[in-house]
Structures are given as C-alpha cells and as structure tokens.
Amino acid sequence: DAGITQSPRHKVTETGTPVTLRCHQTENHRYMYWYRQDPGHGLRLIHYSYGVKDTDKGEVSDGYSVSRSKTEDFLLTLESATSSQTSVYFCAISGKGLAGELLGTGELFFGEGSRLTVL
Amino acid sequence: GDSVTQMEGPVTLSEEAFLTINCTYTATGYPSLFWYVQYPGEGLQLLLKATKADDKGSNKGFEATYRKETTSFHLEKGSVQVSDSAVYFCALSSYGQNFVFGPGTRLSVLP
C-alpha cells in the first residue's frame, strides 16, 4: 500500500459544472500524476507535478487544470465539465523522494481511481 | 516520442493454458520496462519490471525479458488461473519520471 487516496471515488455531475478531484499521498513522493483511462486508449497523462507549485501538461491537458499547494495533495479541476470528460481518473506517484532520491524500485504507484460521469 | 504497442485482445484462455501477451516499444535511450495489472474495480499495480537489456522480471509465475535487439518485453505465464483474469498494461519509463503506457490487454481465464 503506497498511501494514496483519491476522492471522491464516484461522482455524477452535469455538463458545465466545475469538478475537483483530490489525490492525497502520505509517502513524501516528489512526483504526482493524473491519468485518465478510457476503453481503447489505455492510460493517458493529463498533468503532472514535480514539486509544490511545479506542474506541467501531459498529452490530454485541454479542459483540465491542476494545483499542488503542498507535497501531499494534488488537485485536478475540470472548470466546466463536458461529456467527453466522462472517464476513470487515476492519480499516481512515482518512486522518487523530495530530493529526487529513488524510493522503492522507481515504479509508479496508483490510487484506486475516481469514476466521473458527466451527463 | 516514446511509445508502447501491445496486443489489445481480449484474450480468452482455459485454465492451465500458456499465456503470451506481446509488447514492443519505441524509445530514445534506455528505458525501464514494466508490466502492470488491473483487477476489476481497482487501480493498477506493478506486476514486474526490468531496468536494462537482458534483465528478466518475474512475479506470481509471470515473466518478461527485456530484449533490446527486438525492442520487446513480452509477458508470459506457463499455466494461467481464473484469478489471473484482469487487464495487463505494458509500460516504459525514461529517466524514472516520464511513463508511457500501452492500451492494455484484457485477459479472461475460463475454468
């Protein structure tokens, strides 16, 4: 158990409403990621963070924003949800500590996912 | 950029059959290679990994060998069980922070 929790685990919302998903880690890992999982596409990176207030875009970042105000929390926000954002969202942390030191064997650890349905 | 290709399936096997899931990759440099497994309703968890050419990763009866000459990392198991039914993802990582995943292969094992 890599100490990652996502909330909410399930959410149904309507088109045009804002949505925020939260990822919380207790492991002091430096890198945190948000992926979405869709049939036929596998996992696609939305945004990632390499430190407090340091974030960058992934391959499918349009329509999403992120924030990381402290090491343990990484928030994903959909400013105005659309039906194309219906998906399962996974947070992950990588096996590197705050100083870049290797933790474990360098793999990604995943949360249990947040299923979002936009009607 | 880096990419991972794997057979998408679904793959349906009988219990105790031999499993192979093919994975090939394109990357600059020398990435680490991973297989992740996702059971229904859960997140992904690491199944095995290899960090350099000719390394063999193994876990729970699964094996995969890092083949640099063929840029492949095929997953194998000699005798699958019903409990192995899941989605399997091949992935690579360059520099330990940029991860690229294949589309996943759904495996169903019938009793």
- For A12-46, the pLDDT digits (tens) are 999 999 999 999 999 888 889 999 999 878 899 99
CA atoms lying within 13 Å on the CB side of residue B88: 30
CB atoms within 10 A of CB A99: 7
- For A70-104, the pLDDT digits (tens) are 999 999 999 999 999 999 999 999 877 767 776 66
Identify all chain B residues contacting A94, using CB atoms and an 8 Å cutoff: 96-97, 99
Beta bridge pairs of residue B89: B36
d(C-alpha A79, C-alpha A85), whole Å: 11
Closest chain A C-alpha to B41 CA, distance in angstroms = 8
CB atoms within 10 A of CB B11: 17
Cis ω for the linkage preceding B10 (within 30 of 0): yes
Identify all chain A residues contacting B90, using CB atoms and an 8 Å cutoff: none
d(C-alpha A55, C-alpha A32), whole Å: 9
pLDDT of amino acid A42: 83
Beta bridge pairs of residue B110: B14
Q: Does A95 touch chain B (CB under 8 A)?
A: yes
Would the CB atoms of A94 and B51 count as touching at under 8 Å?
Answer: no
Would the CB atoms of A95 and B42 count as touching at under 8 Å?
Answer: no
CB atoms within 10 A of CB A62: 8
